[in-house]
Structures are given as structure tokens and as C-alpha cells.
């Protein structure tokens, strides 16, 4: 079993067996949660793409390209997925769009600054990118339809490899976590290629890891699975950072084709509904 599959399956099992039921007044659901869950894999040896069930590949690939473009209008993304349309404000934008927060919201382009800084100072421990805005996010009823779940990540270069630690305040384990882990591990690989190093350890730390009550049956079915899937190796096309930033749809297809050729997951678990809930 792939390392990510094994750790993820154990996390879901721990939540089902030992989690705390926490009624949520905003969604009307009762998720079962555990605090402080961390998944950690060597992304160069085994890309964290879940094989316990089939997940859509092209969505997280295109989403990272949209993030790197730096906008908050999801029009470019719609041919691939309309997942962000649930968070649209009346003006047609996503106010807390990750890419916009990375590139414009805080007065500087954090991703470009990160690349410049690590190019000059590869041993730096200052490689922090922030999505959460303490001036307007959280600590009360928020007027925005979406608040960042992966709210900051840090990047370190050591041993000729780029290591990325993603910090997630809240993760729907059945739908959100596999998508986020694959997406940010893809971002890790893109940044590593741009900086001329190899991908290293991907760490995914979750403050509130939960399974919604309407996903319990699906979660139990998943915990009973044990796929014998060989490690997935991500091979990026050249110039991935520039092509993703430019919104090159052909780049999305090339990354998709490379992963799809290796991806032989167990069958999808159908009927899981997304709970749109920012808290």
C-alpha cells in the first residue's frame, strides 16, 4: 500500500473509533473530529494520490494552475470544475481565493518573492506563504462565503530537495483531504522544478480533521479496503511554473496524462455530498 494511503486510512479509522462528535450549527451536520492529525510522505518516492478510492485528477491539477495565476475570478477554471462557484460573491469573485491571497491581497506577490528569496538564500527558514488574513478572517461571523482551510505553508530546501509543510485549519477527510494533499504536493513539485531541486517531504497537518455524519458509511467502507498500488511518480513537463501561471490548458492535460497512466485506484465511493461550510 502507498504510504499516503496507509496513513490516510489510519487517520479515518482513528476518527471513526475515537473521534468527538461536534454538532455544527452552520451546516446542520454532526462531524466526528480529532485534533492535530499529520500525514507525512516522501513526495518524490510516492506522490500522495489516494488509491483507496478513485478521485478526479484534472480538478486538483487545474486548481493549482488557477491558484498560480493569482486571480479570484474562477472563469478560467470552469471548463475543468465549477467547485468554486459555491463561494462566489455577488461581484463574481471568490474573496478569499488562495491564489489571489498569495499574489495580490497582502501587497506583494508571495510566490514570486518566495522563489526569489530561496534562489538567493536556499538555506533560509523564512519561506512562509500566508493565505489567512487576520484583519478580516475568522474570530466571528464572517461576511465572506469562503475562508481558507489550508491557510499557510512553509517551504524549506535541504539535501537538494524542497520540502513543503501545509497547515490546514479544517479538513473534510473524505472529500477535502485527498484533494488538498494531491494539490499541494503538486505545488511542491512545481516550486521544486522552478528552483532546480527535487521534491522532498510533503507534510499535511490538520487542526480539525473530521468525517461528516453522512459520510460514516463511506468512511467505514474505505477503512476496509487495502489497495496494492505501486508508488506513483510525478514527472512534470518542463517549465511547469511558467506554463501554469500562464493558464496553459495543455499543461493541465499533460500532467493529467502522466498521472492517469499510473493511476489504478479502487472503485469510487459514490453518493458523498459536499458540505459547503466555512467554519
Angstrom distance (rounded) from CA 229 to CA 266: 9
Element (H, E) at 22: none
DSSP class of residue 231 equals P
Here the cell at position 171 is: 479538513
Rounded to the nearest 10 degrees, the angle between the axes of helix 176-195 and helix 110-120 is 50
Angstrom distance (rounded) from CA 264 to CA 14: 26
Task: Tell me which residue has cell 490548458.
Answer: 249
Contacts of 146 (CB under 8 A, 6+ apart): 87, 94, 95, 96, 97, 278
Residue 173 backbone class (left: φ over 0; alpha: ψ -120 to 50; beta: rest): alpha
Cα 110 to Cα 57, 92, 130, 166, distances in angstroms:
26, 24, 8, 15
Angstrom distance (rounded) from CA 130 to CA 246: 22
Task: List the catalytic residues.
Answer: 149
Q: Considering only CA atoms, which of 28, 29, 41 is closest in space to residue 231? A: 41
Q: Considering only CA atoms, which of 3, 16, 2 is closest in space to residue 222? A: 16
Element (H, E) at 178: helix 176-195
Amino acid at each position: 500500500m502507498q504510504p499516503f494511503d496507509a496513513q490516510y486510512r489510519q487517520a479515518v479509522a482513528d476518527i471513526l473509533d475515537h473521534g468527538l462528535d461536534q454538532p455544527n450549527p452552520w451546516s446542520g451536520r454532526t462531524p466526528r473530529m480529532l485534533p492535530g492529525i499529520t500525514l507525512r510522505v516522501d513526495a518524490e518516492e510516492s506522490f500522495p494520490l489516494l488509491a483507496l478510492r478513485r478521485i478526479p485528477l484534472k480538478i486538483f491539477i487545474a486548481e493549482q494552475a488557477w491558484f498560480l495565476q493569482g486571480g479570484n475570478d474562477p472563469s478560467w477554471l470552469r471548463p475543468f470544475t465549477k467547485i468554486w462557484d459555491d463561494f462566489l460573491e455577488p461581484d463574481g469573485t471568490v474573496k478569499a481565493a488562495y491564489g489571489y491571497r498569495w499574489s495580490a491581497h497582502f501587497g506583494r506577490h508571495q510566490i514570486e518573492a518566495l522563489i526569489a528569496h530561496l534562489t538567493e538564500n536556499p538555506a533560509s527558514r523564512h519561506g512562509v506563504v500566508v493565505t489567512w488574513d487576520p484583519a478580516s478572517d475568522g474570530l466571528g461571523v464572517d461576511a465572506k462565503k469562503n475562508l481558507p482551510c489550508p491557510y499557510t505553508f512553509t517551504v524549506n530546501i535541504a539535501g537538494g530537495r524542497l520540502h513543503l509543510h501545509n497547515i490546514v485549519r479544517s479538513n473534510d477527510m473524505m472529500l477535502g483531504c485527498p484533494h488538498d494533499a494531491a494539490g499541494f504536493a503538486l505545488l511542491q513539485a512545481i516550486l521544486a522544478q522552478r528552483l532546480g531541486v527535487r521534491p522532498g517531504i510533503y507534510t499535511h497537518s490538520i487542526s480539525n480533521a473530521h468525517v461528516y455524519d453522512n459520510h460514516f458509511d463511506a468512511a467505514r467502507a474505505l477503512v476496509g479496503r487495502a489497495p496494492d498500488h505501486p508508488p506513483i511518480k510525478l514527472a512534470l513537463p518542463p517549465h511547469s511554473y511558467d506554463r501554469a501561471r500562464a493558464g496553459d490548458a495543455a499543461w493541465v492535460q499533460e500532467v493529467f496524462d502522466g498521472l492517469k497512466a499510473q493511476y489504478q485506484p479502487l472503485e469510487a465511493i459514490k453518493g458523498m455530498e459536499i458540505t459547503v461550510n466555512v467554519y
